[in-house]
Amino acid sequence: MTATVTEIWRHPIKSHGREHLDSVTVDAGGTIPFDRLWAVAHERSKADGTEWVSCGHFCRVAKLPSLMAISARFDETTKEITLRHPDAPDLTFQPDVESSAFLNWVQALVPADTLQPTRLIKAQAQAFTDSDFPSITLCNHASHRAVEQRVGRPLSTLRWRGNIWIDGLAPWEEFDWDDREVRVGEIVLRVRERTTRCMSTHSNPDTGKRDADVLGALDSWGHQDFSVRAEVIRGGVIRCGDEVV
């Protein structure tokens, strides 16, 4: 069976919504354009966007499950993001100039007894991926189906917040790609590391509520990893339906 790209996703604001793409052009050394270009700093964070910092500086799904239910659409022409959540009205705003509108909107989704969102910051160096290098996350549908079997029911792939989904592989085959080159459509990536997972995977993307012990399922294989992070070494276009070699 030929391995192919089934889905492409980006997350304009880290942990605050996902957007499906039919195709995308990626540069060498870059990420999916506009993926995690912005992030939400909490009240104890000193992050200002001038350098990459770890996810602990930001409001994220691992601590705020309700954020998982946000979907996003970014208009590259108007530079506007539209956010949707089942418990809030839709919001359309320009993140570079209307951050106060976003903060007012998202604060309604954050419990009062936790760290509060205080600043929407834009990455001035590399995007706020969870790796300290610009990365694209490759996810395997067969591995996802294996997790579903351990959990005992269907799970949305959106729990993993990956960039590129691939079907036609064996379960966990992607873990054998460390330091190998993978061609996806026109681009070539080098796999750098596995993605260690956190409590964010327990949250349902439809409801924003924790409802599945995904980490416990991963533990049954002796790890808590899902997907791999890769760096782009040759740029080009990726489309849904492209072959993966």
Domain boundaries, the chain: 4-10+23-30+131-239, 38-122
The amino acid sitting at 186 is E
What separation in angstroms does the CA of 168 have from each of 3, 133, 148, 164? Answer: 4, 28, 17, 13
pLDDT class of 30 with cuts at 50, 70, 90 = very high
The amino acid sitting at 90 is D
Whole-model pTM: value is: 0.96
For residues 144 and 215, is the Cβ–Cβ distance under 8 A?
A: no
Residue 31 has pLDDT above 80, yes or no: yes
Write the pLDDT tens digit of every residue in 208-226.
999 999 999 999 999 999 9
Cα distance between residue 103 and residue 119, in whole Å = 7
Write the pLDDT tens digit of every residue in 125-147.
899 999 999 999 999 999 999 99
- Say if domain 4-10+23-30+131-239 classifies as CATH 3.60.21.10: no
Residue 160 has pLDDT above 80, yes or no: yes
Write the pLDDT tens digit of every residue in 80-110.
999 999 999 999 999 999 999 999 999 999 9
pLDDT of residue 211: 97
Phi, psi of 244 (to 5 degrees): -115, 125
The amino acid sitting at 203 is S
pLDDT of residue 1: 74
pLDDT of residue 146: 98
Pair of tokens at residue 244: 């993966």
Closest CA to 185 of 57, 45, 12, 22: 22
pLDDT of residue 125: 86
Q: Mean pLDDT over residues 232-245, rounded?
A: 98
